[in-house]
Amino acid sequence: MNFDFSDDQKQLRDEARKYLAEKCPPKAVRTVLDGKEAYDRELWKGLAEMGFLGVAIPEKFGGAGAGHLELCVVAEEMGRALAPVPFSSTVYLAAEAVLLAGSESQQQKWLPLIASGGAIGTLALFEGNGNPSPQAIKLSASGGSLNGVKKPVPDGAIADFAIVAARTGSSGRETDVSLFLVDMKADGVEAKTLTNVDPSRGQAELTFKNCKAEPLGPANEGWSILSQVLDRAAVLMAFEQVGGADRALEMGRDYALDRIAFGRPIGSFQAVKHMLADMYVSATLARSNCYYGAWALSTNASELPEAAASARISATQAFQHCAKNNIQVHGGMGFTWEFDCHMYYRRANATALTLGSLSYWEDALIDRMRKRNAA
Amino acid sequence: MNFDDTPQEAAFRSEARAWIAANAPKQYEEDLRKSSLGRTQLKGANILEVAKAWQKKKADAGWACLHWPKEYGGRGATPIERVIWQQEEGAFGKLSGMFIIGHGMCGPTMMAFAGEDQKRKYLPPLASGEKIWCQLFSEPAGGSDVAGLRTRAEKKGDDWIINGQKIWTSGAHYSDYGILLTRTDPNVAKHKGLTMFFLDMKSPGVEIKPIKQANGQSDFNEVYFTDVRIPDAQRLGEVNDGWNVSLTTLMNERMSIGAGVATGFPELFEFCSNLMLEDGPAIDDRGVRSKLANWAVKASGLKYTSMRAISALSKGERPGPENSIGKLVAGSMVQDVAAYALDLQGAAGVLSGPEDAEAAGKFQAMLLRAPGTRVEGGTDEIMRNIIAERVLGLPGDIRVDKDVPFNRIPTKGRE
């Protein structure tokens, strides 16, 4: 047993941290947050050049072919830096879906484009309120044409292609769902940017009107593929969340050491110390759950569904907890636009919802634990 | 990152598994499996005797105190082998409860500070469970503030004369030996005048009185010392350096308590899987699921945190203060879990008799025992201070008594 990342993987993490510290300071995040840019194009190009976009994409498709443990350490750094780029939608969702279910020609077309920074991808799953479920998918597909509306779609307005979940049956079962791949330059699809709680990452509404689409994976197996994609993305997103949680904790700690009130650093008051200690505890529990998820993801273990749900819940809680209390430690300054605390608070609450909310994953975790216990 | 056994680890595991299958006291396995915090009992047997017999059997075959050196009764095993053993020992590991303090704290302290002859004499019977040890630190006036203790040790010839009182001493009533922290110089600051000893608990002048706890049981004791004589040869560390010696003990306490802390989660999950509510099985209820999921990720987070610590340990890193997490999280969790299990039972949750209560009253017993887990071995608040100060690097509290001679520190009745 060795429950830790290897020295090479830790070196990759250091490299990514150093790169992002230089190329993605809070100022860069603010450029997108303030609406001056839809995403940080320079950074996206740089991430491609560094090989970070294709870390887990096989070499034959233009990636580094390193693997998912390597992708986990990069994801953590993206979260730490609040990178204002479509990394999670392109790499965790679109690339994973194409890797899992794409045809040879789809893989040959899109994966090299992703790795080189030439294509942004996303997953169009949700249709308004609610969590992932086969019944909630109303957008219809017939004769290879899609009709319906998807929202919110992460990075939907800047995407070059989208994986779209559509209804292809009416049995009321999971097999009613199929996946399609849509080139966003195609006729019959329109994207509209939507305002959201974390403007450093875009959300969009996609409207499909007789939009021609090619199938991704076998017909009627869309839900099963989606479930796998969501589990894989949950682990990767959890690493982003843990990266964000750690940074929020550090910001709180540093401020508590620096800020003097009542003649002493506020970090010497137990009320503040204990709040920070609890933040450390939740970040640590989340990190440990994430490591288990990373192991399950990288080995395609049968434990992955349960491990992914645990990592997702734990990391969501930790990021929300740390981001929220980081503001509290900062007091009034934490509630200003000028201080960076709100950027973590926004990201924490947005990432908490983007793959389905806590209640969805809580439900999934208990289902999966029961299945294991019954087995 | 992997969970696979190396060929050596696999060989160790199969050897351990085979030996346990052939030797463990199988007749008690079911009772042990059902035991939980606040209730460990064996039908028709004295648990102390069963535990001692199992420990002795393990020691004779080389399966006791695995990580200790062989010459002191251990096996010289690696940290990972120790984990493998715990996994294989399963429910029988619950029989180790009364040895935890001796093996986890007194043993390591003796190993670090006793003479070679003493180690060879005292450690093997400690490992084999033939002799049980306790730890005499806390006092009525010094709980979280251990260094505020007042039990005096005064030098007389080659001996020390001990007078005072200890409290919260787990297992003193069945212990053969103890390690004892005393005050040897009240004229210097409180941390600077302490000295550590070990002693025979049957020494004249030692009087043990069980404490009846809030849950009605008696795991702890008061221990009174009246002119108890301890030879200077039984001093551990230098005179007045007892605080540093005790840090070794407490560091090991965190490792051993943090490792296998009860969260109550497996019990609650099983309970909810079987309990029927008005609308069906409790585990199908959305609210129940949400609660369970939140505790599930705490329990798994603790488990994997301890695996990360073991991986670090096996690479030669020292156990750090971050291990305080285990006790901090599990302590309040087991209390919340128990209260929730009672809540699910509705009005009948008030019943605690094994015949009347759901799950044979296990959660009622857990609820009543749980407040102690948040206090013993360092309160939740002390754990948070440790994390804040030693992990996060925040300033220590302002300590008004730090540089004051001990006998000038204000106390109740001494302004």
Instruction: For residue B407, count CB atoms less than 10 angstroms from its CB and return exposed for 0-12, middle for 13-18, buried for 19 or more.
Output: middle
User: Chain B contacts of A361, Cβ < 8 Å?
Assistant: 293
Q: Give yes or no for A361 touching B (CB within 8 A).
A: yes
Q: CB-based contact (8 Å) between A274 and chain B?
A: yes
B295 neighbors B265 (Cβ within 8 angstroms): yes
Residues of B in contact with A366 (CB under 8 A): 283, 289, 292-293, 296
pLDDT at B415 over 70: no
| Mean pLDDT taken over chain B | 92
Q: Does A314 touch chain B (CB under 8 A)?
A: yes
Nearest to B297 among A274, A313, A359 (CB): A313
pLDDT at B258: 43
DSSP secondary structure string, A78-120? HHHHT--SSHIIIIIIIIHHHHHH--HHHHHHHHHHHHTT---
- Do the chains contact at B1 and A2, CB–CB below 8 Å? yes
Convert the pLDDT of each residue in A18-54 to its tens digit.
999 999 999 999 999 999 999 999 999 999 999 999 9
Q: Give the per-residue pLDDT at B122.
A: 98
Smallest Cβ–Cβ distance between A310 and the set B297, B305, B328 belongs to: B297
Q: How many CB pairs under 8 A join A and B?
A: 153
CA distance A290 to chain B (A): 9
CA distance B293 to chain A (A): 5
Of B300, B328, B394, the CB nearest to A253: B394
pLDDT over 90 (residue B306): no
Nearest 5°: the CA angle A92, A98, A100 is 85
Q: Which of A219-228, B111-120, B284-293, B315-324 has the lowest mean pLDDT?
A: B315-324
At A278 the pLDDT is: 98
**Contact between chains at A273 and B389 (C-beta distance less than 8 A):** yes
- Chain B residues in contact with A7 by the CB 8 A cut-off are none
What's the gap between Cα B346 and its chain centre? 33
Q: Residue B248: is its pLDDT beyond 90?
A: no
Q: Are B197 and B179 in contact (CB under 8 A)?
A: yes
CA distance A85 to A155: 9
Mark yes or no for CB contact A369/B396 under 8 Å.
no
Q: What is the mean pLDDT of residues B17-27?
A: 97
In this structure, what DSSP letter does residue B414 have? B
pLDDT tens digits, residue range A255-278? 999 999 999 999 999 999 999 999
Would you call A257 and B393 a contact, using CB atoms and an 8 Å cutoff?
yes
B353, two tokens = 């008799």
- Grouping H, G, I as helix, E, B as strand and the rest as coil, residue A140 is strand
Decide if A273 touches B, using CB distance below 8 A: yes
Instruction: Enter the pTM of the model.
Output: 0.94
Q: Say yes or no to pLDDT of B322 above 80.
A: no
Inter-chain contact B1–A6, Cβ cutoff 8 Å? yes
Taking residues A238-260, report their average pLDDT.
98
**Burial track A184-215 (b if 16+ CB lie within 10 A, e otherwise):** beeeebebeeeebebbbbbbbbbbbeebbbeb
Residue B254 confidence (pLDDT): 56
Q: Which residues of B touch A319 (CB under 8 A)?
A: none
Residue in A3, A5, A256 nearest the CB of B394: A256
Distance from CA of B411 to the nearest CA of A (A): 22
The helix/strand/coil state of A221 is coil
A326 part of contact set with chain B, CB < 8 Å: no
Inspect the interface and report whether the beta carbons of A310 and B300 lie closer than 8 Å.
yes
The pLDDT tens digits of the residues spanning B98-108 come to: 999 999 899 99
CA-to-CA separations, B110 to B104, B199, B236, B245, in angstroms, rounded: 11, 12, 7, 10
Mean pLDDT lowest for which of A320-324, B10-14, B71-75, B315-319?
B315-319
What are the chain A neighbours of B383 within 8 Å (beta carbons)?
277
Write out pLDDT tens, residues A62-97: 999 999 999 999 999 999 999 999 999 999 999 999
pLDDT at position B337 is: 98
In chain B, pLDDT over 70 holds for what percent of residues?
A: 97
Name residues 243-262 of chain A within 8 A of B (Cβ).
253, 256-257
Distance from CA of A162 to the nearest CA of B (A): 32
Mean pLDDT, residues B315-340 taken together: 87
Q: Which residues on chain B are in Cβ contact (under 8 Å) with A284?
A: 301, 305, 322, 325
Q: How far is A357 from chain B (nearest CA, A)?
A: 12
- Give start and end residues of each alpha helix (H) in chain A: 7-23, 26-33, 41-49, 68-81, 87, 96-101, 104-115, 222-258, 270-299, 304-330, 341-351, 358-374
Per the CB < 8 A criterion, the answer to whether A25 and A343 are in contact is no
Reported as a pLDDT band with limits 50, 70 and 90, residue A182 is very high
Q: Which residue has the higher pLDDT, B256 or B375?
A: B375
Exposed / middle / buried, residue A31 (Cβ in 10 Å: 0-12, 13-18, 19+): middle
Degrees, nearest 5: CA angle B72-B76-B79: 125
pLDDT confidence band for B257 (50 / 70 / 90): very low
Q: Is the model's pLDDT at B133 over the cut of 50?
A: yes
Above pLDDT 90, what percent of chain A? 97
Answer whether A265's CB lies under 8 Å from A259's CB: yes
